[in-house]
Structure 1
Amino acid sequence: MIKIPPQLKGFTLLEILLVVVAIGILAGIVIIAINPNKQLGDTRNAQRRIDVSIILNAVYQFSLDNNGTLPLTINNTATEICLDDETCPSLIILSTDLVPNYILSMPVDPSIIASVGEGVGYTIFKNSTTGRVTVSAPNAENSATISITR
């Protein structure tokens, strides 16, 4: 028969449970503090800012190359941009003027899966008074406003 020494050291079930609960509480606090949904939204917003800038730069490069004339499809109402030069009812078609000479392809909002004949998730309009062009990202997340005017 094997004798167990009376002073054998070890962890009790209660001690192990307390450690597991403490680790769980700390993990929950860290996840709440990091807020992955907000971080992902901020990342998509950063891409939207880049896309809006790319579109506006391409429009102005087109304008410079055409003696100050903007693409004719830009009007004075904020309207979504079409993905390609296919028929897009009530959308602004810029790809005929801008792709591939000024941009390789029309940027698409990161939260949209666009296909032929659909919008890219960005709007554009020309102020009829000042002649300035504004490109916006109406699908911005986390209450952000993404818009550039030139």
Structure 2
Amino acid sequence: MHQKRTTPLPFGFTLIEILVVIGMIAVLAGIVLTAINPLRQFALARNAQRASDVNAILNAIGQRIAENQGVFTDASDCIRPLPNTSTDISSSAFDLRTCLVPSYISELPIDPSAGTLSGATYDSGYTVTQASSTGRITICAPNAAESAIVDSQPYCLTR
């Protein structure tokens, strides 16, 4: 006849098996993190935001110039012309906020890592220049030179 087995069958995992699996997961996590490189991905995301911000500022300036018959300044809210040397867009250097907000842009963009905004005091982290010879306007994001991105340069857009 058939005999019953008296020793129970082992169920579950041993401590060694669990440690081996944890070790394999740690190695795979290290490989994945190295491949993804989150610092570089965050830097690329900040630079994408900077490119969008620079374009928005330049579009707002262009709309203002178009509505004022080709001139940036007027007698009411924006009496200073655009600077012909690279100047910070801030409340203390060249205040574009009074000229553009809210008529041409809802709020002046602020650099994702270097800009500051505290009430009426701000530093956008961007610069503006208008070439005196051609009248072309350049907005730059000098902080786009991120250390996590090899050979990155400041981002500038000219129109």
Unaligned runs of 5+ in 1: none
Deviation at 1:10, TM superposition (A): 5.2
Deviation at 1:9, TM superposition (A): 6.0
Aligned mates of 1:51, 1:9 — CA distance in 2: 60
RMSD, aligned α-carbons: 1.9
Q: In 2, are the aligned partners of 1:126 and 1:132 still within 8 Å (CA)?
A: yes
Aligned mates of 2:94, 2:21 — CA distance in 1: 60
Moved over 3 A (4+): 7-12
* Cα displacement string for residues 112-136 of structure 1 (whole angstroms, at most 9, x for unaligned residues): 3322323111100011222110001
Partner of 1:113: 116
The sequence identity of aligned pairs, in percent, is 47
Deviation at 1:107, TM superposition (A): 0.9
2:139 corresponds to 1:131? no
Residues 128 and 12 of structure 1, relative CA distance in 2, 3 Å threshold: same
Unaligned runs of 5+ in 2: 1-5, 74-79
2:62 corresponds to 1:54? no
Q: In 1, are the aligned partners of 2:116 and 2:122 still within 8 Å (CA)?
A: no
Aligned mates of 1:81, 1:58 — CA distance in 2: 14
Deviation at 1:38, TM superposition (A): 1.3
SS at match of 2:128: strand
Q: In 2, are the aligned partners of 1:99 and 1:106 still within 8 Å (CA)?
A: yes
Aligned mates of 1:129, 1:117 — CA distance in 2: 32
Partner of 1:27: 29
TM-score when normalising by structure 2:
0.79
Deviation at 1:76, TM superposition (A): 1.1
Pick from 126, 130, 154 the counterpart of residue 145 of structure 1. 154
Task: Tell me the matched-pair count.
Answer: 141
Deviation at 1:20, TM superposition (A): 1.1
Aligned mates of 1:58, 1:38 — CA distance in 2: 30
